[in-house]
Amino acid sequence: MKMFLEDMEDGERLALPFLFEFWAHPHQLPPEGDWRTWVILGGRGAGKTRAGAEWVRSMVEGPRPLDPGKCKRVALVGETLDQVREVMVFGDSGILKCTPPDRMPKWVSGRQCLVWPNGAEAMAFSAFSPESLRGPQFDAAWADELAKWPKGRETWDQLQFALRLGRDPRACVTTTPRNVEVLKTLLELESTVRTHAPTEANRAFLAAPFLDEVRRRYEGTRLGLQELDGILVDQVDGALWTLEMLDAARMGRQPELGRIVVAVDPPAGDGKASDACGIIVAGVVMDGPPAAWKGYVLEDASVQGLGPAGWAAAACEAAARWKADRVVAEVNQGGAMVTSVLHTVDPMLPVKTVHATRGKIARAEPVAALYEQGRVFHARGLEALEAQMGRMTNGGYLGQGSPDRVDALVWAIHELMLDKQGYVSPQVRVL
């Protein structure tokens, strides 16, 4: 590298920081070919904003500062005007930070517009106001965080009608994926190309403690797949719990609960490579007959890699934290050892052991039916549990490892609701 820099002239060295093609990751460079929309799917911090800003530069700048570029009128569309200004324009990876001084555009606040020395303009628009895109016309557009736009479909449609200037109007979309219709429809179009990268692709510019912490907390969860891996988590065909069911289960204020249990699904192995120990806290409101009771999933206290003493301590702490009436523990793995380990931590802990003699799906189906009836609700912070629930199908679990959190959930709801309604499960034996 030293020899490379020494062989360059002064002007070349000054220009080098602004030659994005030299520094860019592959996912930050536009694909070749005939396309109308380039979608960059990436995790948090993967360099999406920088890629969008550099693409705008490549569209509006000519070889010299006053030379015309490929495009003259660009739309900058974000969730809000503030986000367009603070992220896309003035942000650390925004257009102004990426542009060399001799072709730096000026921000005209009264017009919400960037103006380049060569006359090119980029106007800011908010996804809260799709109608503001009626009238203006553009030959390029940069749409940031499309998947979180409040009026995504309406705004995107209006932008398509406005992209009508020039011989080849194009759009760049930079977004962390979410399971929203406008993004899924866009990705299915033949005129759309995509690049993709996880958060780690840009690790050189991210704090190491940040990466370690978010990976530790969200690895393998639906939130982690979306926010870190940049993967669009769609609904699995035949899922026992659909995304719509889980969205409908969002809990408001926690009611007064008549009974609370902590359900434990111990791991088969012992060590960091073993499955997690599923620990789910749930309660029930017992108003009216048992068929009218409602369940509330309060906390996912699951742990991994702690060994028997560690997961037993976590279960006992959850029971104490919620003043649980009892702990329900599956003993397929470990038998009497499970009760013994729990009582080692808390000798007075009320423990009920259960044993499954049939498969997970047969146990889970009646619990999923309660969700369909709108009788089970979720507190915040259950993303890891919900990610597993979304992979449980009639044909089995489609995720990696064991659905330990779902197993614990199923035991909890059985104990609180199904056993009290006269439901006789052929696959459960109480010890």
pLDDT tens string 156-205: 999 999 999 999 999 999 999 887 889 989 998 999 999 988 888 877 77
Burial bucket for residue 380 (CB in 10 Å: 0-12, 13-18, 19+)? exposed
Cβ atoms within 10 Å of 210's Cβ, excluding its own? 13
Burial bucket for residue 292 (CB in 10 Å: 0-12, 13-18, 19+)? exposed
pLDDT tens string 330-342: 887 555 688 899 9
CB of 322 closer than 8 Å to CB of 379: no
CB of 353 closer than 8 Å to CB of 341: no
CB of 256 closer than 8 Å to CB of 285: yes
Q: Give the span between the Cα atoms of 364 and 321, in whole angstroms.
A: 27
Could you tell me which residues come within 8 angstroms of residue 54 by beta carbon, excluding any fewer than 6 positions away? 20, 24, 28, 98
Residue with tokens 């289960």: 249
Alpha carbon 276 to chain centroid, angstroms: 21
Residue with tokens 């569309």: 77
Note down pLDDT in tens along the chain; length 431 residues: 556 555 656 555 565 566 777 777 888 899 998 999 999 998 888 899 999 999 999 999 999 999 999 999 999 999 999 999 999 999 999 999 999 999 999 999 999 999 999 999 999 999 999 999 999 999 999 999 999 999 999 999 999 999 999 999 999 999 998 878 899 899 989 999 999 888 888 777 788 888 888 877 776 566 777 788 787 766 677 889 988 888 889 888 899 999 999 999 998 766 555 678 999 999 999 999 988 999 999 999 999 888 899 999 999 999 999 999 999 998 875 556 888 999 999 999 999 998 876 678 888 999 999 999 999 999 988 888 988 898 888 888 877 678 999 999 999 999 999 986 544 443 444 43
CA nearest to 314, candidates 329, 335, 333, 334: 329
Whether this prediction's pTM lies above 0.85 is answered by no
DSSP 3-state of 151: coil
Go through 142-158 and write b for each residue having 16 or more CB atoms within 10 A of its CB, e for each that does not. bbbbbbbbebbebbbeb
